[in-house]
Amino acid sequence: MLKPTARMSLRAGVASVAVASLAACGTASSGSDTEAATEIGDAEGTVSILAWPGYVEDGSNDPTVDWVSDFEEATSCEVVSKTYGTSDEAYQLMQSGGYDVVAASGDLTLRLIAADLVSAVNTDLLENYEGIFDFLKDKEWNSVDGVSYGVPHGYGANLLMYNTEVVDPAPTSWDVVFDSASDYAGAVTAYDSPIYIADAAVYLMTHEPDLGITNPYALDEDQFAAAVDLLKLQKESVGEYWSDYLKEIQAFESGDSVVGTTWQVIQNSISTGNTEVVLPEEGATGWSDTWMIASEAESPNCAYMWLDYIASPEANATATAYFGEAPSSEAACDFRDDCEAYHAGDEEYASQIWYWTTPVAECVDGREDVECVDYAEWTKAWQEIKG
Amino acid sequence: MQLGPATRAVLGIVTTVTLALIYLPLFVVLLNSFSTSESLSWPPPGFTLEWWGRALQSTGALEALGTSVAVALAASAIALVLGTLAAMALSRYEFFGKEAVNLLIVLPIALPGIVTGIALNNAFRTMMGVQLSVWTLIIAHATFCIVTVYNNAFARLNAAGTRLEDASMDLGAGLFTTFRLVTFPRLKSALVAGGLLAFALSFDEIIVTTFTAGNGVTTLPLWILQNMFRPSQAPVVAVIAVILVVVSVVPIAIAQRLTAKDAATVSR
Amino acid sequence: MTTHRASAFLAPRRRLQVAGLLTAPVAWLGLVYVVALAALLITAFWTVDGLTGQVQIQWTTDNVVEVFTEALYRTVTLRTLGIAAAVTVIDVLIAIPVAFFMAKVAGPRARHLLVIAVLAPLWASYLVKVYAWRALLSADGLIGWAGAPFGLDTPGYGITGVILTLSYLWLPYVIMPIYAGFDRVPDRLLEASADLGARGGITLMAVVLPMIRPAIIAGSIFAFCLSLGDYITVGIVGGTTQMLGNLVYTNVGAANNLPLAAAISLIPIGIIFVYLAAVRRTGALRSL
């Protein structure tokens, strides 16, 4: 669905120059070594990992949830981890340095690569890389010019959830949260992030073909304005925006929300049994996360060992199951009994997902005659939509 | 003042209702800690002791508690020293710029936490080039804690007057001896109260903490925030909250006793 | 002994004593806080690289102009001010009778218990309390359930929910200084007023209120300032509402646009300076 573009490297190049010149002012540090390693040496003793909550669990939060201890015993690399709440917070933390490994979503990876904060990864050194689904490898959010910048971890779609008692007939289209949202005024919910504008764009791709949107992350002025207008209209029916899933689960269980975007794990956690999820006919946005290595990693060997370990079927299965997303390999499904619910390995299903990508001025769909609206503008527009 | 029985009753009722309202949400938290619902849904669908078992086994929560206590102690200690010095200066001396110093002390608590947070984050990382750590967190917390110590100490110094200190000096005691033997003993309970408030302020702070804590530094509020994003951890957090409220009664009660007794001897 | 000598040297030199006392606190607050704050405000006049989010030292007034001209910021500022003012008024109105009861009506033993009862909830973690309010305000929550027989419905998630939750969170911070204020009013004074023929109400208005005004204002500073900067509560119980804190947070946390975040910060900083300047004369800053 998404092809790596040659322009990526150009963009990365331009950005590195900017970063390097900034370093002189003392407001940034430039990466010195982004060459991939050629071999894995001895363990350095510790590895510092930055990840989404639930990605690096060592049993300290719940003794039964632990896949870090096995790694520590096997490699003698002690894991120190920090979690972050949004991709943007992660970017800020990576800038401040001190991490060897980061788990990054597609709306973060390109920024990390462009700012020289992560280095290329030599996947030949990783035993478990081969087993990973091909449709996750060498994508435009985890590679540049065919050079891999990390190992895919897990992926999922931003699905449509609805209350079966209220929303009837069962929806098959996103129009229940857009053009027909007023039917459920006050009980519609949406993901609270500028990246949600892409969900509106996915809808417009089908319903307003004249706009000519071919990629929801590459919107020119007119396309962007149409998406924003759609969301402003939607806002009148929205009860609340959600970003943490505790809030979302509670809202659907209590009936405060009856229809809106969700994740599969939220559906799995809802105990009242009156909700369903569907991947609507227009397709959906989603995420595919990547384990990356910091360009200034102090423990590159342990970092490689972690990347290999977390891609191994059992560890990958445990971690992705705990977080609630599809694993990255077929073999991992041997260790999970819910792969079907997540459509793991279903290439046809995966092809309907538009994975989060950072919107930048240079259109990611390859258009050269127009400028696309960048993420800073998306953020501004999102605030205006919320009013 | 002569209050009619009706007025007293009305005041009593208002107070009782207010306290009931203050404890109602906490009661909900208590119920949630025994609820089978993982998302704190109301009403609780069933009863379980699972969360209490898991909370008591959670080394993550315990470590976070340790970090919070250590940070709050260090921040309070710094605030105690700086707050006392400032209170002595402002209550005992006249000098130019007094108002400005007073404003300076109040500002960190008056400005929104997020402004303080991003300002300090920016200063530490880009201006000084320091990596965030537990030390940057302590510095940040101490900064907004000074005011509580200062205010308590200032009020006490003003109420106590300077007669005893003057007498001490007249009798030949030096500045430091006078402070040690006369001023400090009378200030002690105010410092306990101020220090306790500083401790509480630091202990539950989340916004400034988000922006100034380094890698691997997890205070209890940060731990709670992170666990709100993990599957089925919300009731465990409710357990921790219940334990905190119950345990906190002890230090508050002790400080209460100390201050009340001392205040009585000083001002009356 | 050196302390002796230092003492003898310092005793007649008041200026040196002041300098000795003030150097450490003023240096700390100046170096740590004022410099950081000033740097942030300067950042408001810089720009940011779109893709990498790096701050670039390139002078511009765009951010500040944007913040002061665009309707979005005006709307959100007014909404935030309204919420903060409502929270302050509610808290002060509740705190005055409660604090008065604690200080002047309750016996010494009850007073101790009341102070503990008011302070203990402060330890129950801000986040946990906000989530508890989320449960209370929900469509099938306790408020809706208890109000149903009277034909009342829960206000749900939105501005009203935010005002209720914030009033709840900051109430102890408002009660305590007002309680301390009442506590400082000598009983003798009240008796004298009564002896001179003033009735309860008059004593309260003419004698007590003027004396505790600084304490009330001190309490209001807590409620007002803490509400003005909040963004977490509004995210949990605010429905689609956003406040100034959210705008700052989104720009620094999500958009990585520190200059714009700094420019938006100018609004609450300005409001608080005006507020502090207005209450400065009352001596309230010393009763916090």
Smallest Cα distance from B104 to chain C, Å:
7
Dihedral angle, C-alpha C103, B26, C171, B194, nearest 10 °: 70
Nearest to C22 among B3, B86, B159 (CB): B86
Among all residues of chain A, which has the CA nearest to that of B228? A246
pTM: 0.85
pLDDT higher at B241 or C75: C75
What pLDDT sits at residue B51?
Answer: 85
Instruction: Calculate mean pLDDT across residues A29-56.
Output: 76
The total of other beta-carbon atoms located within 10 Å of residue A232's CB is 15
pLDDT single digits (tens) A9-18: 333 333 333 3
Q: How far is A24 from chain B (nearest CA, A)?
A: 12
Say which residue the tokens 């609270």 belong to. Answer: A192
Task: Give the residue from B46, B55, B43, B11 showing the smallest Cα distance to B237.
Answer: B55
Contact C140 B42 (CB under 8 A): yes
**Torsion of the alpha carbons at C32, C37, C38 and C42, rounded to the nearest 10:** 130
Pairwise CB contact (< 8 Å): C54 & A18: yes
Nearest to A387 among C75, C131, C257 (CB): C75
Write the CA distances from C250 to A381, A383, C195, C246, C254, integer angstroms: 12, 8, 60, 6, 5
pLDDT at residue number A14: 34
CA neighbours closer than 13 Å in the CB half-sphere of residue A268: 15
Give the HSE-up count for residue C123: Cα atoms under 13 Å, Cβ half-sphere: 27
Q: Is residue A225 helix, strand or coil?
A: helix
CB atoms near residue B167 (< 10 Å)? 12
Position B231 confidence tier, pLDDT thresholds 50, 70, 90: low
> What are C47's strand-pairing partners?
C56
Q: Which residues of B are less than 8 Å from A245 in CB distance? A: 229
Structure-model confidence comparison of residues A104 and C278, the more confident one? A104
Q: Is the pLDDT of residue A29 over 50?
A: no
CB atoms within 10 A of CB A72: 16
Best A57, A82, A257, A323 residue to mutate vs chain B (most B CBs within 10 Å):
A82
User: Do B108 and B208 form a contact (C-beta atoms < 8 A)?
Assistant: no
Number of Cβ atoms within 10 Å of the Cβ of B255: 21
pLDDT at A83: 83
- Which residues on C lie below 8 Å from B11 (Cβ)? 97, 100-101, 105
Minimum distance, in Å, between the CA of residue C269 and any CA atom of chain B: 6
Query: Chain B interface residues facing chain A, Cβ-Cβ under 8 Å?
Result: 36-42, 45, 54, 57-61, 63, 125-126, 129, 131-132, 214-216, 225-234, 236
The count of residues in chain B is 268
Which tokens belong to B39?
């998302």
Check whether A6 has a pLDDT greater than 50: no
**pLDDT tens per residue across span A62-101:** 788 899 999 999 998 999 888 887 787 788 788 878 899 9
What distance in Å separates the CA atoms of residue C36 and residue B104, rounded to the nearest whole number?
A: 13
Residue A154: in which H helix or E strand, if any? strand A151-157
Q: Which pLDDT value is given to residue C288?
A: 54
| Residue A298, beta-bridge partner list | none
Between the alpha carbon of residue B90 and those of residues A187, B20, B58, C18, C277, the distances in Å are 56, 40, 47, 9, 19
C3 HSE (CA, 13 A, CB side): 8
| Closest chain C residue by Cα to residue A250 | C135
Supply φ then ψ for residue B150, to 5 degrees.
-55, -50
Range C139-168 average pLDDT: 86
Q: What digits encode the pLDDT tens for the residues A138-150?
A: 888 888 888 999 9
CA–CA min distance C205, chain A (Å): 43
In the chain, the amino acid numbered B251 is P
Of A15, A88, A384, the CB nearest to C256: A88
Both tokens of residue C229? 């900067």
The whole-number average pLDDT for the span B3-25 is 87
Instruction: Enter the tokens of residue C129.
Output: 């309390």
Strand partners, A156: A287
Q: Residue A241: its chain C contacts at CB < 8 A? A: 240
At B157 the pLDDT is 84
The CA-CA-CA angle for residues A346, A352, A353, to 5°, reads: 95
- The pLDDT, as a whole number, for residue B41 is 67
Chain C positions in Cβ-Cβ contact with residue B8 (cut-off 8 Å):
105
**Whether the predicted pLDDT of A283 surpasses 90:** yes
How confident is the model over C194-221, as pLDDT tens digits? Answer: 777 776 667 777 777 888 888 888 888 8
What confidence score (pLDDT) does residue A280 get? 93
Residue with tokens 């119980």, as numbered in its chain: C237
More reliable by pLDDT, A60 or B85: B85
Q: Is the pLDDT of residue B135 over 90?
A: yes
Q: Are strands A284-294 and A151-157 parallel, antiparallel or unpaired?
A: antiparallel
pLDDT reading at B268 higher than 70: no
**DSSP-derived 3-state class of residue A276:** strand
Average the pLDDT over B189-194 and give the result.
83
Pairwise CA distance, residues A139 & A294, whole Å: 19
Task: State yes or no: pLDDT of A322 exceeds 90.
Answer: no
Region of C53 on the Ramachandran plot (φ > 0 left; ψ -120 to 50 alpha; else beta): left
DSSP, collapsed to helix, strand or coil, labels residue A260 as: strand
Is B221 in Cβ contact with C33 (below 8 Å)? no
Average pLDDT, chain C: 84
Nearest-by-CA chain C residue for B124:
C36
- Confidence bin at B262 (pLDDT 50/70/90): low
| Rg over CA atoms, chain B | 23
Name every chain A residue with its beta carbon within 8 A of the beta carbon of C55: 27
Q: Are the CB atoms for C206 and C129 separated by under 8 Å?
A: no
pLDDT on residue B42: 66
Alpha-carbon distances, residue A236 vs A188, A257, C273 (angstroms) = 9, 14, 36
Mutation for testing the A interface, residue in B118, B230, B233 having most A CBs under 10 Å? B230
User: Which of B36, B39, B226 is facing A53, going by the closest CB pair?
Assistant: B226
Token pair listed for C38: 């000033």
Q: What residue spans of chain B are helical by DSSP H? A: 5-32, 50-57, 59-92, 98-110, 113-122, 134-160, 163-170, 175-178, 184-203, 207-212, 220-227, 234-267
Q: Give the tens place of pLDDT for each residue, A166-219.
A: 998 899 999 999 999 999 999 999 998 888 999 999 999 999 999 999 999 999
Residues of A in contact with C54 (CB under 8 A): 18-19, 22, 27-28, 95, 115
Give the number of A-C residue pairs with CB atoms closer than 8 Å.
109
Residue A21 pLDDT > 60, yes or no? no
Nearest by CB to C254, from A240, A246, A379: name it: A379
Chain A: closest CA distance from residue B126 (Å): 5
Q: Residue C7 and residue C3: Cα distance in Å, rounded?
A: 6
Cα-based angle A75, A39, A103 (whole degrees, multiple of 5): 60
**Residue A24 pLDDT class (50, 70, 90 cuts):** very low
| pLDDT-derived band at B232, boundaries 50, 70, 90 | low
A206-264 confidence digits (pLDDT tens): 999 999 999 999 999 999 999 999 999 999 999 999 987 788 888 898 888 999 999 88
Contacts of residue B62, defined as CB under 8 A and 6 or more positions apart, other chains included, come to: none
Q: Are A236 and A161 in contact (CB under 8 A)?
A: no
Helices (H) and strands (E) in chain C, counts: 15, 2
Phi first, then psi: what are they for C19, rounded to 5°? -60, -45
d(CA A286, CA A288): 7
Q: In terms of pLDDT, which residue wins out, B155 or B141?
A: B141
- A31: pLDDT strictly greater than 60: no
Residue in chain C lying closest to A234 (CA): C240
Dihedral sign, Cα of residue B174, residue B176, residue B181, residue B186: positive
- Could you tell me which residues of chain C have a Cβ less than 8 Å from any Cβ in chain A? 48-57, 72, 75-76, 131, 134-135, 138-141, 156-157, 235-236, 238-240, 242, 247, 250-251, 253-257
Average pLDDT, chain A: 85
Chain B residues with beta carbon closer than 8 angstroms to that of A50? 215
Q: Is the pLDDT of residue A40 over 90?
A: no
In sequence order, what are the residues at sequence separation of 6 or more whose Cβ sits closer than 8 angstroms to the Cβ of residue A37?
A: A122, A125, A300, A304
Residue A322 in tokens: 């705990």
C-alpha–C-alpha distance, residues C124 and B32, integer Å: 14
| Set of chain C residues whose Cβ sits within 8 Å of the Cβ of A382 | 250
Q: Which of A22-26, A287-291, B202-206 comes out lowest in average pLDDT?
A: A22-26
